[in-house]
């Protein structure tokens, strides 16, 4: 089965010649736990090595993400937990990110998010373990990774600590690989990467869980800038997860508040929830800051979109039925902002993830742009007034 995975990765173009030997020297299965939860069509199934070693091996050598921890380690037993909190990433995505990392012999790499230790092993096989440092916030996950790495014959430095701080003791780094979702790029990462160095990370906004890998190049002036690459979905850095939105905090009681604003929309559900949903959700997150969305269906089966403002109690509920009703409350016109974001996106030909980029300034501000850093993405609110 590992041969099949190698052929799949090779045929797709992500397993290049420089990564062939590391792939053979650090098999993924050596870094997976006895009980694991592969992702199958968006759902996680349970696979036990003790119960079915052949099935376990088959999934270990399949190009799917595999959950290895639930609920920050508080979960026990074979059933799925509530929140997936550590995993082994999809192999094709791993090697795709390695391509963006574009390492060269002798380079020093910092990995943020050790997880199972597989990426640290691959980097060690490619660059030499003395050039690899990996930081993991969860002590149990870090210790399991150290043991797996040692059994596999690799001994890179694995640090238990807050990845947001990087690891200044071995800086500067030529490359930095982040394997957890990020909403705010910390200054420490840029400061610990040499000018001309590269940081590869999955970045997202609060609007949705759909993030995109961005390749940032560090400048001489303390900035970092680059284009987004593939869209993906990573578990968030623990300190940047944000809080769960509670409906009752925004709309207390069983009926609309007295000050609810009512309107209608001409924007069909397919435009914001259809085939291009992941692209528009990413774009909406760039233009509509400090906003979380969720979607589903009403008890009557009507497609429904909910918006919640962060930092205030603005909210919106859009029911895509025949009347296309919109209900809103709070100081922001959240649905108006989303409509404005959709107009902006449509007027520019509906650009995808790779046409956007991100710049982190020397003072820590993040600025998204379209096409070129000189074309910053505006706040949608400016088009609502």
Are 217 and 196 in contact by the 8 Å Cβ rule? The answer is yes
pLDDT at 233 (0 to 100) = 83
Are 233 and 337 members of one domain?
A: no
Identify the band that residue 151 occupies on the pLDDT scale cut at 50, 70 and 90: very high
pLDDT at 202 (0 to 100) = 96
Are 161 and 113 in contact by the 8 Å Cβ rule? The answer is no
For range 340-369, the mean pLDDT: 96
Domain membership flag for residue 367: no
Count of domains forming the chain: 2
Domain membership flag for residue 153: yes
Domain membership flag for residue 41: yes
How confident is the model over 288-344, as pLDDT tens digits? Answer: 999 999 999 988 899 999 999 998 999 999 999 999 999 999 999 999 999 999 999
Identify the band that residue 382 occupies on the pLDDT scale cut at 50, 70 and 90: low
**Domain stop point among 206, 238, 270:** 238
Domain membership flag for residue 384: no
Are 183 and 208 in contact by the 8 Å Cβ rule? The answer is no
Decide if 89 is catalytic: yes
For residue 297, what are the domain limits? 247-347
How confident is the model over 33-62, as pLDDT tens digits? Answer: 999 999 988 789 999 999 999 999 999 999
Three-class secondary structure assignment of the chain: CHHHHHHHHHHCCCCCHHHHHHHHHCCHHHHCCCEEEEEECCEECCEECCCCHHHHHHHHCCCCCEEEEEHHHCCCCCCCCCCEEEEECCHHHHHHHHHHHCCCCCCCEEEECCCCCHHHHHHHHHHCHHHEEEEECCHHHHHHHHHHHHHHCCCCEEEECCHHHCCHHHCCEEEEEECCEECCCCHHHHHCEEEEEEEEEEECCCCCCCEEEEEEEECCCCCEEEEEEEEECCCECHHHCCCCCCHHHHCCCCCCCCCCEEEECCCCHHHHHCCCHHHHHHHHHHHCCCEEEEEEECCCCCEEEEEEECCCCCEEEEECCCCCEEEEECCCCHHHHHHHHHHHHHHCCCCCHHHEEEEECCCCCEEEEECCCCCECCCHHHHCC
Domain membership flag for residue 370: no
pLDDT at 150 (0 to 100) = 98
How confident is the model over 171-181, as pLDDT tens digits? Answer: 999 999 999 99
CA angle, residues 247, 210, 78, in degrees to nearest 5? 80
**Domain stop point among 215, 238, 261:** 238
CATH number of the domain that residue 10 is part of: 3.40.50.150
**Domain stop point among 212, 238, 264:** 238
Q: Which of 89, 124, 134, 314 is catalytic?
A: 89
Are 233 and 210 members of one domain?
A: yes
Question: In the chain, what percentage of residues exceed pLDDT 70?
Answer: 98
């Amino acid at each position: 089965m590992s041969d099949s995975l190698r052929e799949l990765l090779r045929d797709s173009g992500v397993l290049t010649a420089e990564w062939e030997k590391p792939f053979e020297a650090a098999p993924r299965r050596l870094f997976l736990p006895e009980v694991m939860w592969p992702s199958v069509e968006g759902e996680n199934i349970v696979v036990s090595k003790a119960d079915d070693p052949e099935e376990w091996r088959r999934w270990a050598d399949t190009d799917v993400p595999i959950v290895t921890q639930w609920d920050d380690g508080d979960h026990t037993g074979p059933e799925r937990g509530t929140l997936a909190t550590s995993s082994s990433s999809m192999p094709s995505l791993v090697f795709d990110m390695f391509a963006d990392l574009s390492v060269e012999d002798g380079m020093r790499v910092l990995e943020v998010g050790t997880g199972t230790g597989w990426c640290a092993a691959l980097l060690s096989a490619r660059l030499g373990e003395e050039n690899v440092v990996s930081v993991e916030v969860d002590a149990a996950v870090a210790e399991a990774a150290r043991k797996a790495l040692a059994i596999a014959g690799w001994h890179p430095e694995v640090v238990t600590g807050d990845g947001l701080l990087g690891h200044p003791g071995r800086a500067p780094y030529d490359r930095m690989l982040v394997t957890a979702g990020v909403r705010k790029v910390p200054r420490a990462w840029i400061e610990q990467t040499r000018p001309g160095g590269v940081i590869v990370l999955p970045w997202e906004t609060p609007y949705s869980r759909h993030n995109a890998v961005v390749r940032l190049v560090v400048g001489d002036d303390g900035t970092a800038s680059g284009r987004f690459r593939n869209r993906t979905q990573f578990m968030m850095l623990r300190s940047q997860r944000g809080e769960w939105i509670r409906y009752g905090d925004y709309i207390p009681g069983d009926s609309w508040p007295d000050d609810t604003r009512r309107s209608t929309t001409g924007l069909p559900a397919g435009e914001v929830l259809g085939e291009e949903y992941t692209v528009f959700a990413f774009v909406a997150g760039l233009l509509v800051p400090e906003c979380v969305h969720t979607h589903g269906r009403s008890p009557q089966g009507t497609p429904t979109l909910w918006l919640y403002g962060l930092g205030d109690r603005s909210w919106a509920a859009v029911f895509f039925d025949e009347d296309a009703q919109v209900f809103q409350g709070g100081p922001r016109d959240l649905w108006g902002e989303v409509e404005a974001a959709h107009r902006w996106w449509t007027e520019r030909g509906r650009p995808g993830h790779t046409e956007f980029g991100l710049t982190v300034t020397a003072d820590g501000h993040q600025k998204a742009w379209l096409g070129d850093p000189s074309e910053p993405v505006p706040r949608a609110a400016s088009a609502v007034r």
